[in-house]
Structure 1
Amino acid sequence: MKHVSEKQGRLVLMCAGATNLLGVPLFSQVFSNDTLITLSPEVFSRFGLLLIMFWGLAYLASAGIHRQASGLLAVFALVKLAYVVSWGLWLNDHFLQLPELLRTHPLTGAFYAIYGVIDLLFAVLFIRLSLQARQVSMTQVTS
């Protein structure tokens, strides 16, 4: 596995944070997009959207310490994987409605078409960073 630099790791966490902090207000139209909320109220209620933004803050706050936070990065990966599973279940129930949703509510349709892919990407990156941080900390203990 190719080593991820300190700068690259920080960038991953900053991008994840920015994705949550900018994506939620954009796609939820500042919490007013009732279509987005209605299609998955257990995940994207207004409160759920606010919590997604809080996770974004957590990603940003950990950007400078990620080398010492293997466990935290693993938790971040699990959170992202939970959203990937949620997306997969949503697609299973709504896939045939997606073209109509894209036509009538393009922003909401785009969100539901892509959010799981983005979360899967960040989950993989968080797992990679977590494993690397764990390896670094184990090397320091044995040195």
Structure 2
Amino acid sequence: MTINNKLISKGFILAGVMNSSVLLFSRGFTNKTINAYDPDVMSNFGMLMILIWGLAYISIAYRFKNVKWLVAVFAIEKLIYGCVWLQWMMTNDIGNVYKEDKMAGIFYSIYGLNDWLFCVFFLYVFIRLLKQQ
């Protein structure tokens, strides 16, 4: 299956928008429940960096063909977040998060799935760009 460049550009924009949803789930970085359950990764600073990654995805949406190695970096970044999420899910009780705050529970339920999805997307784009050399 081949995805056209226009759809790939939309994928980069969607990845950025999904990262920007951290603003919604964190209620503008005021949701302390998210911070409390993973203070290393999901501190307010960590969530700000997630937002910055999202802006980086959007910034190359129409120029991704020129920065194939940056696309590889995006895939690695998403792989790392996906692995961190899996580890978190295996060592925490998501039910406790939902009891404290539904938005935080939804956030912890989906953020890693989002990271795995876009890891595959970025990897696909990178491999496609390598083959075009």
How would you bin the TM-score normalised by the shorter chain? over 0.9
User: Comparing 38-47 with 101-110, which one deviates more in the overlay?
Assistant: 101-110
2:126 corresponds in structure 1 to 130
Instruction: Give the deviation of 1:6 after TM superposition.
Output: 0.7
2:102 corresponds in structure 1 to 106
Q: How does 1:59-98 map to 2 (within 5 A)?
A: 59-94=57-92, 97-98=93-94
Equivalent pair of 2:33/2:100 in contact (CA under 8 Å): no
2:38 corresponds in structure 1 to 40
Equivalent pair of 2:13/2:61 in contact (CA under 8 Å): yes
How many aligned positions are there? 133
Instruction: Give the deviation of 1:58 after TM superposition.
Output: 0.3
Q: Alignment RMSD, CA only?
A: 1.0
The runs of 5 or more residues in structure 2 that have no matched partner are: none
Using the alignment, how far apart are the partners of 2:3 and 2:109 within structure 1? Answer: 29
Write the letter of the residue equivalent to 1:109: G
Equivalent pair of 1:74/1:130 in contact (CA under 8 Å): yes
Using the alignment, how far apart are the partners of 1:42 and 1:100 within structure 2? Answer: 19
Structure with greater helix percent: 1
- Secondary structure at 2:41 match in 1: helix
Write the letter of the residue equivalent to 1:15: L
Structure ID, larger Rg = 1
1:10 corresponds in structure 2 to 9
Q: Percent identity?
A: 34
Matched, 1:121 2:114: no
Instruction: Give the deviation of 1:99 after TM superposition.
Output: 2.1
Instruction: Give the deviation of 1:118 after TM superposition.
Output: 0.8
1:26 corresponds in structure 2 to 24
Pick from 57, 67, 92: which aligns with 2:55? 57
User: Comparing 121-130 with 62-71, which one deviates more in the overlay?
Assistant: 62-71
The runs of 5 or more residues in structure 1 that have no matched partner are: 139-143
